[in-house]
Chains A and B, each alone.
Chain A
Amino acid sequence: MEFGLKKRARHEVKVEVASLETKYPHNVMLYHYPPTEDVHIDEFEELALERLRLLRVLDRASNRNQRLLSDEWKENVSADLTREGLRSYLRLCSAGGSTKHEADIQTRRRDYLSHFILRLAYCRSEDLARWFVAREMELFRYKFAALSSAEVKQFLEANGFEIHPLSEAQKDEVKDGLYESTAGQSVAKIELLDFYKVPFTQVLDLVRGRRCYLKAGFAYVNTHDLVSLVGTKQQDEIEQGLQAAKTMVDDVEADERISRTLKALHNSYTGRDYTVCRDAAIPIESLDQLSKTSMPLCMRMCHEHIRAQHHIKHNGRMQYGLFIKGIGVTLEDSLRFWREEFTKKMDADKFARSYEYNIYHNYGKKGSMVNYTPYSCAKIIKDATGPGDCHGCPYKYMDQGSLKTKLSSYGLSASAVDEVMSFVSRGHYQIACGKYFQITHNSTVEPTIIHPNNYFEESQITMGNRQKRTNGPALPKARIKDIKGHGDRSMLMGEDDDELWRIAETQERIMQSQKDISEAFNDDLDLTQIDY
């Protein structure tokens, strides 16, 4: 990729379109060759921010826990894209993939360039790369889903996938397996569909979900599922691209103008990852109290589990340990907390040998020295739970009966329980969590819960507020910061100011609520009497 500064003259545009048509013939492309054209620095920045907004739309959709490409999902994404002024991308993701409209071709160009720009911004850490790849794959699938089967064939030919459908005789040989194991198609449809035989490693997501027939290392895939084949290839392409970008990133960043854009992008994403708590220190003595008032259900369950069992399995330790780190429990306190609990069941020696390392590790003091990020809702919801586990999202893993009992034991009225459960039964776990927040905090606004630490923070703010001004105006809502593009460089500074202002604001509130909590403690119980 070359980063020049040549400014394109207006009158050249038409000529360019002609060549662009051959360069970007189709909505769906594999991002194989890096672009070589010159891009103006302003446009570079604009494209980067535009792509980020596009990917964030998809991120919000996946946080809403809707199935990718379901009607609900599509509706949400298209509304969101429109709101963000990204309607042109919506056209990329709808039928008619090879139109020759100038506007469409320009969008394709923007799509292509911006993807490669973001590779530079997102190759620098595993977490960033993972996020980027996941979003890009969602976008790819969205685009690919709009293709007709003729277009799919055309796409495969154009991109060098040398696969051929099974002949009738070949298909006949494996037909029992195809009938049994091809997901999502009726038997009558399977009779008619073309099937392709590919190594199972090329369609891993079909294998993972047991959605195709598998025999002797080969998967039998029908036309509709070819997206998996192409998707696997695309994901490899992006992952390798990120690796390659990593080696170039130093050269690229020698130019300060570019490095500023790329780094700002990076920061604007990690601004709210709760890795380091900047707000306040939480004494572990207050955890019992806080677990009742300010922790979401998933963390409260972990906390109660530890207090009751004096032990918690690895995934639970990770989930809860990182969470309390994120709310401001110091490493020393954390060590003390775990030690006090665990040593009720084991000797101090065993604790030191088997568990201490893990705690240091979470705080980035041992091993790879990475300061780990607390788990987000998306991760917690996806986590599988096994016997004896207490981690994961309780709205998801608990059966409805015991969840109801649990909620009413926490003091929710029958009607409130039903309200929460109505979201649970439809699979809207985060909305259920938000509802629970609203009820337990007696709040007028139902916050969008995307992260347990954000739940906690919201709770602290709300409680601080309640004490301060009883009938105050609307409660502060966690802002999902959006970046405005269009090459406006002043906004980068504005963003920083905004961030500082927000920190100051939160700090004030937290300190207030800290005071309130400690006052509440003084009223109710004497800390010295707590017997751990």
Chain B
Amino acid sequence: MQVADQENQAPQQQTTAVHAYNPEVLQDMLPVYYRRLFPHLPFYRWLSYGSSEDAIFSNREISFTLPDDIYIRYLCFDTQAELEKEICSRNPIKIDIGPVMHTKPKNHRSIPGGLTPVQRELVFDIDMTDYDDVRTCCSGAEVCLKCWKFMVLAARVLDVALREDFGFEHIIWIFSGRRGIHCWVCDHQARHLDARGRYAVAEYLNIITYANFSGTNSPRCAMGERPHHSLKRALKIVEPMFEEVILEDQNLFGTPKGVTKLLNMVHDDAARGELESYLQKNLEDGAHSRLIWESFNKYASSMRTSTANAWSRKLKNIVSEVQLGLLYPRLDINVTRGFNHLLKAPFCIHPATGKVCVPFSVSAVAKFDPTTVPTITQLLHEINAFDDKSKSYMEAPEDKSRIKDHKKTSMFKGVVVFEEFLRKLERNQKSASLQF
């Protein structure tokens, strides 16, 4: 149902090109954005968790980044009104969310022994730059629809693992505004995991290791004799997309350098040499990835069935290992491990792109297009256009119209996803409190 909603609310995309974002005027636009568009109330509803625990909102560390890289940490707010007032008066370029501390973080200087975090969402950060060695379409900060598919797979694999294996339900996914995605797991148990627990979950989900090959790192994923169910499930998600993403879109093995990448993933020196000469003999340089992959598959399976050798033991699962190695989510596990790590809040504006950090629904992640995520410039034009058309803004009292402003814009669906997440979270809290 959620998916259908998003479809219907297709934004006016033609405006994107017309109103290009200019980073220099961001400071002038932010006051309007925070006053009229930022979803203050849902934001508060999220972080207060229905006030289910003592001081859960007021002891939360929030930090602001102001112009000229002025970074203010250890802020905290008692009420929604106070937070909203502060955001609207300071107009931060970026808002970060830290842990809930044992006491008010703003008193951090006067507390003997310093602040101790008591709870914090379990967070994941996946950055497109970690995929630079497997994408040929863009590099660095750029992102296009082709490379977004890596994020699609990452979100799907992680989301299902968190739900099925760990039993987490309240998971919100956020587009980070430029090239990555964030995931916040907000279940009670996830928020209360200690450092060791976070480390264990992060390691459980982090299957990729890197082996150094003459200066370049080659991803590795060891599946072992009997692959763990989580790896098998990940493979089921990744495998159907492998041809499209790696072979067609990226044509990753289409150059001699690309073939080396494939070879480097074969973790046996002798076998790698054999494969290399086999490929050289049978294919010419620059053959399409599809052909390379077919030959590789054929060779691996023929070697596996012939006699006992590295291919039938150590490299038994090599085909699957390459698929997972290239497409399994590449986590920045330090973000997940850290109890104290600050992470950018949803609905911030990314200062370089002007794009809103919008939540998205995992079930519709394939339809999410990072290149058409609304920029602040576009949003402001959209409200103006709407106001001009209806003239309601001038006549209606400001308070009323403000609540609904985001509905006039293409930010709408992001807020809907967020509210859907909140509704489930709050329903859960209600039923939990009824049990007592």
B213 with A402: CB separation less than 8 A: yes
In the assembled complex, B54 has its CB within 8 A of some CB on chain A: no
| Chain A residues whose C-beta falls within 8 Å of the C-beta of B165 in the assembled complex | 214-217
User: Is residue B90 contacting chain A, with contact meaning CB distance below 8 A?
Assistant: no
Q: What 0/1 readout, one digit per residue, does chain B (213-234) give for beta carbons within 8 Å of chain A?
A: 1111110000000111111100
Q: Are B210 and A387 in contact (CB under 8 A)?
A: yes
Which of the 9-residue segments A142-150, A201-209, A429-437 touches chain B?
A: A201-209
A207 partner, pick from B204, B210, B229, beta carbons under 8 A:
B204
Q: Are A214 and B130 in contact (CB under 8 A)?
A: no
**Cα–Cα, bound, A125→B280 (Å):** 59
Q: Is B189 an interface residue (CB 8 A)?
A: yes
Centre residue among B200, B216, B269 by max chain A CB count within 10 A: B200
Any B CB within 8 A of the CB of A401? yes
In the complex, the answer to whether A398 meets B200 with C-beta atoms within 8 Å is no
Assess whether B294 is interfacial by the CB under 8 Å rule: no
A205 neighbours in B (Cβ, 8 Å): 200
| B229 and A213 within 8 A (CB) | yes
Mark out the residues of chain B between 108 and 144 whose CB falls within 8 Å of any chain A CB in the assembled complex.
130, 132-133
Task: Report A-chain residues with C-beta under 8 Å of the C-beta of B24.
Answer: none
Mark out the residues of chain A between 167 and 223 whose CB falls within 8 Å of any chain B CB in the assembled complex.
177, 179-181, 183, 200-201, 204-205, 207-210, 213-218
Tell me if A43 counts as interface (CB < 8 A to partner B): no
Q: A217-B167, A384-B209 are in contact. Are A180 and B229 (CB under 8 A)?
A: yes
- B69 CB–A CB distance under 8 Å: yes
Q: Tell me which residues across on chain B come within 8 A of A213, comparing CB atoms.
A: 229
- A385–B130 CA distance with the chains assembled, in angstroms: 13
Asked whether B133 lies within 8 Å of A387 as measured between CB atoms, the reply is: yes
Cβ of B122 to closest chain A Cβ, rounded Å: 12
* Nearest neighbor of A212 in chain B, beta-carbon distance: B228
Over the window 371-385 of chain A, the binary record of Cβ atoms lying under 8 Å from chain B Cβ atoms (1 yes, 0 no) is: 000000000000011
A386 touching B130, Cβ below 8 Å = yes
Of A207, A397, A401, the contact of B201 (CB 8 Å cutoff): A207
- Tell me the complex Cα distance, A389–B216, Å: 9
A214–B166 contact, CB under 8 A? yes
Q: Is the CB of B204 within 8 A of A208?
A: yes
**Cross-chain contact A208 with B193 (CB below 8 angstroms):** no
Shortest beta-carbon distance from A390 to chain B in Å: 9
User: Are A353 and B69 within 8 A (Cβ)?
Assistant: yes
Residue on A nearest B226 in the bound complex, by CB:
A180
* Any B CB within 8 A of the CB of A16: no
Q: Counting CB contacts under 8 A, is A405 at the interface?
A: yes
**How near does chain A come to B252, taking the closest CB pair, in angstroms?**
15
Per-residue contact bits, chain A 414-455, to B (CB 8 Å; 1 contact, 0 not): 000000000000000000000000000000000000000000
Please classify how large the interface on chain B is, using the bins under 10, 10 to 19, 20 to 34, 35 or more: 35 or more
Is A399 part of the binding interface, using a Cβ–Cβ cutoff of 8 Å?
yes
B228 and A181: CB pair below 8 A?
Answer: yes
Interchain CA distance A399-B211 in the complex, whole Å: 6
Are B232 and A204 in contact, with the CB atoms below 8 A? no
Q: Which of B181-223 contact A (CB under 8 A)?
A: 189, 193, 196-197, 199-201, 203-204, 207, 209-218
Q: Which residue of B lies closest to A400 (CB)?
A: B269
Let me know if A218 and B226 touch, CB within 8 A: no
- Please measure, in the bound complex, the distance between the C-alpha atom of A362 and the C-alpha atom of B1, giving whole angstroms: 53
Given A177-B229, A181-B228, residue A387 in contact with residue B132 (CB < 8 A): yes
Chain B residue numbers with a CB within 8 Å of A201 are 189, 193, 197
Within 8 A of B (CB), among A389-417: 389, 394, 397-402, 405
Q: Are A208 and B212 in contact (CB under 8 A)?
A: no
Q: How far is the CA of A218 from the CA of B215 in the complex (A)?
A: 41
A398 to B213, CA, bound (A): 6
Question: Is there an interface contact between A389 and B204, defined as CB atoms closer than 8 Å?
Answer: no
Q: Which residue of A lies closest to B193 (CB)?
A: A201
Task: Determine whether A494 belongs to the interface, using a CB cutoff of 8 Å to chain B.
Answer: no
**Chain B residues whose C-beta falls within 8 Å of the C-beta of A160 in the assembled complex:** none
Within 8 A of A (CB), among B331-346: 333
Tell me the nearest residue of chain A to B333, going by C-beta.
A384
Enumerate chain B residues within 8 angstroms of A388, measured Cβ to Cβ.
Answer: 217
Is the CB–CB distance between A215 and B164 below 8 Å?
Answer: yes
Cβ-defined contact, A399 with B213, below 8 A: yes
Closest A residue by C-beta to B207: A210
A397 proximity list for chain B (CB < 8 A): 210-212
Give the shortest distance, in Å, between B316 (CB) and chain A (any CB).
Answer: 16
Contacts of A200 in B (CB 8 A): 166, 200
A216 and B164 contact, Cβ closer than 8 Å, known pairs A204-B200, A386-B210: yes
Q: Are B217 and A207 in contact (CB under 8 A)?
A: no
Query: Contacts A200-B166, A208-B203, A387-B217: A214 and B230 contacting too (C-beta < 8 A)?
Result: yes
Residues of B within 8 A of A387 (CB): 130, 132-133, 210, 216-217
What A residues does B229 contact at CB under 8 A?
A: 177, 180-181, 213
Contact across chains for A180 and B213 when beta carbons are under 8 A apart: no
Q: Which chain A positions have C-beta within 8 A of B189?
A: 201, 217
* Bound Cα distance from A200 to B200, whole angstroms: 10
From B165, B166, B189, name the one whose CB has the most chain A CB atoms within 10 angstroms: B165
The answer to whether B217 touches A204, judged by C-beta atoms less than 8 angstroms apart, is: no
For B198, the closest partner residue in chain A by CB is: A204
Q: Mark B317-359, 1 if CB is under 8 A from A, else 0.
A: 0000000000000000100000000000000000000000000
Using a CB-CB cutoff of 8 Å, which residues 232-261 of chain B contact chain A?
232
A201 to B195, CA, bound (A): 11
How far does the Cβ of B3 sit from chain A's closest Cβ, in whole Å?
A: 25
The 3 closest A-B pairs by CB, nearest first: A217-B167, A216-B167, A204-B200
Query: Can you sample 26 A-B contacts with CB below 8 Å?
Result: A180-B226, A181-B229, A183-B228, A201-B193, A205-B200, A207-B200, A207-B204, A210-B204, A210-B230, A213-B229, A215-B164, A216-B165, A217-B165, A217-B168, A353-B69, A384-B209, A384-B333, A386-B130, A387-B133, A387-B210, A387-B216, A388-B217, A399-B212, A399-B214, A399-B264, A402-B214
Interface residues of A (CB under 8 A from B): 177, 179-181, 183, 200-201, 204-205, 207-210, 213-218, 235, 353, 384-389, 394, 397-402, 405
Beyond A204-B196, A399-B218, A401-B213, 8 additional pairs, beta carbon < 8 A: A179-B226, A180-B227, A183-B228, A207-B204, A208-B204, A217-B165, A217-B168, A389-B217
